[in-house]
Amino acid sequence: MAKAKKSIFFCQNCGHEESKWLGQCPVCRQWNTFVEEKVTAAKTGGQTKSLKEAEVVALSSVQTDREERVCTGIGELDRVLGGGIVPGSLVLVGGDPGIGKSTLLLQVCQRLTERKQKLLYISGEESLKQIKLRADRMETFTDDLLLLCETNIETIRSVIEKERPSLVVIDSIQTMYSEEVSSAPGSVSQVREATNIFMQIAKGMGISIFIVGHVTKEGTVAGPRVLEHMVDTVLYFEGDRHASYRILRGVKNRFGSTNEIGVFEMRQDGLREVENPSEFMLNGRPENASGSVVACSMEGTRPILLEIQALVCRSNFGMPRRTAAGTDYNRVNLLMAVLEKRLGLPLSNYDAYVNIAGGIRINEPAVDLGIVLALVSSYKNRPVSEDVLVFGEVGLSGEVRAVNMPEQRVSEAKKLGFQTCILPAVSLDAVKNIQGIKLLGVKSINEAIDLI
């Protein structure tokens, strides 16, 4: 008897199934996310397989031997992964087209082949010649790197079981398909089925697998949200395509912190690590320019110094214009309201433009004081000294509140040659042992403005 086919509607955001189309998903509450897919009904009849009796164990009897991580040879990637690759882990790497996902993973393969590890690079989008052309721009590869251009998951699984590599790269998950699922490659059903199979391979055979995922126009990985729940680690490649730097950010990590970032610079021969992101971000600062202030933000355990630029000019229209690039637009409006209320500055008649130089995006409250001082500096047309660093959270009453890790921020400023640091007064006790830099504690934005 032929298999019966029916249509099921899947939510592209969360993977929820419905028998009919709905305008809004009842689970994730997103609109217009349901797509129709043909699903083949499973066979019925025959003998029922005997169920295997499940075994339960006590928590105290579980062995917690520490997993030995495999260092990739790329320090920035190891930082984001939490110290290296965990054997048997499933890692999802997402990012815009052309951002450098395939280049980074090919460089990881190159470093690991130098240690005589057997690797398998599976591409469903590029031919063998295209991969070879990219590899020729990098360093020399050994014969331990195997290439395979295939999209059939069953064929890929048989190759992995035969070759037994230590690491597998799948580029990309949206091109893989299973013959048991009747929908087209890249659909919700195919992506979910392919990820489930690769997860079984990684856990069952102890092979680390890197999966490349396409992103939507909103910047999230294409496919159901359950895809990110199934994998162990989710990494996002960020950065302006017109800039040379790239930021690798950990969104989910079952084996480490999710606050770490890795900074790379795109060159002709591939990605290169940026060991000192602060110096890289501050390169090309203007001299004696009003509205320019250096602030410090923490990304995980790494302090990053960045330049905050502000431009305040009188508005020619009834409604002033507000623009924020690299930071939260609503946060800028809030800080401007604090300046107008607590300091009496008539900013309601002025246009304001705030920019984080270098194209990086920061949402940490510790840059509030830097934004405030940059706005006041531009409004009064008085430049802030180039050797001054500021950080601190600003409240609605105009108070400057404490932030985490002040000693790391001050130490980074001292290392880069800053002479003065303006910080919250309550954080002075934590940094009193640091010598060689002038520390000025402030309790309100009025004190901070008087100091500069």
Distance of CA 423 to the CA centre of its chain: 28
Asked if the structure places residue 100 within a domain, the reply is: yes
**CB 386 within 8 Å of CB 380:** no
Asked if the structure places residue 59 within a domain, the reply is: no
Question: Do 12 and 152 share a domain, yes or no?
Answer: no
- With residue 34 as reference, give the H or E element that holds it: strand 34-40
Nearest to 224 by CA among 23, 81, 30: 30
Q: Report residue 357 as tokens.
A: 């130089």
Burial letters 293-318, b for 16+ CB under 10 A, else e: bbbbbbbbebbbbbbbbbbbeeeeee
Question: Do 238 and 378 share a domain, yes or no?
Answer: no
Asked if the structure places residue 148 within a domain, the reply is: yes
Contact residues for 75 (Cβ-Cβ < 8 A; gap 6+)? 273, 275
Residue 220's pLDDT is 63
Asked if the structure places residue 49 within a domain, the reply is: no
Q: What is the CATH number of the domain that holds 292?
A: 3.30.230.10
Residue 313's pLDDT is 94
Cα–Cα distance for residue pair 103/50, rounded to 1 Å: 48
Residue that finishes a domain, picked among 231, 249, 275? 275
Asked if the structure places residue 230 within a domain, the reply is: yes
Question: Do 331 and 215 share a domain, yes or no?
Answer: no
Residue 4's pLDDT is 52
Per-residue pLDDT tens digits for 361-385: 888 999 999 999 999 999 999 999 9
Question: Do 359 and 300 share a domain, yes or no?
Answer: yes
Nearest to 191 by CA among 229, 158, 163: 229
Question: Do 80 and 207 share a domain, yes or no?
Answer: yes
Strands 5-11 and 34-40: antiparallel
Question: Do 152 and 298 share a domain, yes or no?
Answer: no
Q: Is 97 annotated as belonging to a binding site? A: yes
Q: Is 99 annotated as belonging to a binding site? A: yes
Positive or negative: CA dihedral 427, 432, 436, 438: positive
Asked if the structure places residue 436 within a domain, the reply is: yes
Q: Is 101 annotated as belonging to a binding site? A: yes
Under-70 pLDDT residues of the chain: 1-5, 39-52, 65-67, 216-225, 240-242
Question: Do 30 and 118 share a domain, yes or no?
Answer: no
Question: Do 268 and 295 share a domain, yes or no?
Answer: no
- With residue 375 as reference, give the H or E element that holds it: helix 368-380
Per-residue three-class SS string for 146-196: EEEECCEHHHHHHHHHHHCCCEEEEECHHHCECCCCCCCCCCHHHHHHHHH
Question: Do 262 and 346 share a domain, yes or no?
Answer: no
Q: How many domains does the chain have?
A: 3
Asked if the structure places residue 52 within a domain, the reply is: no
Q: Is 98 annotated as belonging to a binding site? A: yes
Nearest to 247 by CA among 280, 284, 295, 293: 280
Q: Residue 203: which domain range? A: 70-275
Q: Is 6 annotated as belonging to a binding site? A: no
Asked if the structure places residue 30 within a domain, the reply is: yes
